[in-house]
Structure 1
Amino acid sequence: MEQDLVVNEVFGPTVQGEGRSMGRRCAFLRLGGCNLSCTWCDTPYTWDWTGVSDSGVAHDPRQELHRRPVADVLAELLAFGTDLIVISGGEPLGQQERLIPLVRALVEHGKEIEIETNGTHAAHPDLVAAGVRFNVSPKLSHSGDPEHRRIVPDALENLAALPGSTFKFVCRDTRDLDEVSGLVSAFELSSVWIMPIGRTADDVTRHLSALADAVVERGWNLTTRLHTLVWDDKRAV
């Protein structure tokens, strides 16, 4: 029996702001809940009910989270008329069994699907079979979470073995790149992307400038945060 999804927001049309599909027109499904608590999280309203993130705001789950039937979410996403659907969070793979009916229906309508995940959950085989692409963003030590929570070897090995997976690391400056290098080597990660930390356009640009040369030198890919450059810290864009 299908279960409702716990949704934070659905919005579009917009563009994918990060990684290999940056700039592509898309619609977003943002799910609620996360198993991590990154201090710098740019979507604390999906999980931070006590004000532990840098925002210091205790968000109200009664306002932010909504139980919605799959059929309703499907209809809203299809109405945007985009070829690409991005499923984000929070941590969407915390609800991945509930996502399977939605993903199957979207694929039947010819949609491409990317799921943004923190890499602590192995992907459900049914999502893999549906052709979902996984944008995996393992968290570094500056996130504030202990390593045993943010680095789950079995999950990373599962995701690294999937065709089309990319690995995106949020970095502040070149000192973070050594930590990334350790994870890339330990888990034999390919398609590595480095993204600057920042909730505002000025912050993103400053950190991007500090990282760019070293990222290129290491042979990795560089991504900005396009949605932040365009709309700053505005939600649902």
Structure 2
Amino acid sequence: MSASRTYAAVPSPPQTLPAAGNTTAVSAAPADKTTPAEATIPVLEIFGPTVQGEGMVIGRKTMFVRTAGCDYRCSWCDSAFTWDGSGAGDIRPLTAEAVWEELVRTGGSRFSHVTLSGGNPALLRSLGPLVKLLRAQGIRTAVETQGSRWQDWLTEIDEVTLSPKPPSSGMETDFAKLDDIVRRLNPDGISLKVVVFDERDFAFAREVHRRYPAVPFYLQAGNEDVRLADDDLLRGQLLRKYEWLVDLTMASEDLNDVRVLPQLHALLWGNKRGV
């Protein structure tokens, strides 16, 4: 690691975690069965530096910490290995300190931003100590979650992307929960993102934007073949879908303040993991 950058000593994990706030509308995920000082994070991947491929942080140089587990089963999920059992052998239960040490071993002094990914990271109360540790080290953080679970550590994340799932996913959004999460979070650090595959998804996206007009809103063209290994063929498909979504958005009178994005990492590296 370069001598030009030093990090603060890793603090001891907190002896107690703050209780969840008012959970009348949104319940936190069940507490880890271990004590907070011993709680671990189910980590599938730590990689980077790379560029963020989606949403409000697209193009941002970052490290990734991918966790296991999701409460959704989206039909087109590009990271189904986080919940379908196929990645079970890769899961490592790591403490916050162990995650930090691996981030530094992997990224050296070449990063100042970490993305918590999944699955759904908001299932994990045990991410709280890691978020605090990263903040203590001067590292900015981002997370994407569908907005189905609340965790108190979300208020300490710099960039929270809420991504309610459209009809093509086969999932259904609980808007009462999403309303409450949007209300709790710092409005300067959140955005909404909807992945669009078809006209029904586009109509859903319009309704989401109408419901939260003050929240920065991103449309993303869907990747219809997450198993395709031919990168050139995939790029053509992604760009055609992106052009289709751009055309729809340009013709809409109620999406004047949105941003329309491709899935940048898929354009660059195809469907590869760990990039």
> Could you tell me whether the CA contact under 8 Å between 1:193 and 1:223 is conserved in 2?
yes
- CA distance change for structure 1 residues 160 and 133 in 2, over 3 Å: closer, same or farther? farther
Aligned counterparts of 2:58 and 2:157: Cα–Cα separation in 1? 19
User: Are 1:11 and 2:47 counterparts?
Assistant: yes
User: Are 1:127 and 2:163 counterparts?
Assistant: no
What's 2:192 paired with?
167
Cα deviation 1:136-158 (Å, max 9, x = unaligned): 1110111012x2xx334223432
What's 2:4 paired with?
none
Displacement of 1:131 in angstroms is 4.2
Provide TM-score, normalisation by structure 2.
0.75
Q: Which of 137, 145, 159 is residue 109 of structure 1 equivalent to?
A: 137
Aligned counterparts of 1:31 and 1:134: Cα–Cα separation in 2? 16
- 1:229 maps to a residue whose letter is L
- CA distance change for structure 1 residues 197 and 78 in 2, over 3 Å: closer, same or farther? same
Displacement of 1:84 in angstroms is 1.2
Task: Give the number of the structure whose alpha-carbon radius of gyration is greater.
Answer: 2
> Could you tell me whether the CA contact under 8 Å between 1:123 and 1:158 is conserved in 2?
no
> Could you tell me whether the CA contact under 8 Å between 1:123 and 1:159 is conserved in 2?
no
Cα deviation 1:25-77 (Å, max 9, x = unaligned): 1100000000000010000100013xxxxxxxxx152x132211221101122
User: Are 1:138 and 2:174 counterparts?
Assistant: no
> Could you tell me whether the CA contact under 8 Å between 1:174 and 1:210 is conserved in 2?
no
Aligned counterparts of 1:21 and 1:176: Cα–Cα separation in 2? 22
What's 2:78 paired with?
42
What fraction of aligned residue pairs are identical, expressed as a percent? 29
User: Are 1:227 and 2:272 counterparts?
Assistant: no
Between stretches 177-186 and 85-94, larger displacement belongs to: 177-186
- 1:24 maps to a residue whose letter is R
- CA distance change for structure 1 residues 160 and 78 in 2, over 3 Å: closer, same or farther? farther
Q: Which of 86, 98, 119 is residue 126 of structure 2 equivalent to?
A: 98
Aligned counterparts of 1:161 and 1:202: Cα–Cα separation in 2? 40
> Could you tell me whether the CA contact under 8 Å between 1:84 and 1:113 is conserved in 2?
yes
> Could you tell me whether the CA contact under 8 Å between 2:192 and 2:217 is conserved in 1?
yes
- 2:241 maps to a residue whose letter is H
SS where residue 208 of structure 2 aligns?
helix
What's 1:209 paired with?
243
- 1:201 maps to a residue whose letter is R
Bigger helix fraction: 1
- 1:236 maps to a residue whose letter is G
Q: RMSD between aligned alpha carbons? A: 1.8
Cα deviation 1:77-129 (Å, max 9, x = unaligned): 2341311111010000000x2111111111111111001111111341x431x
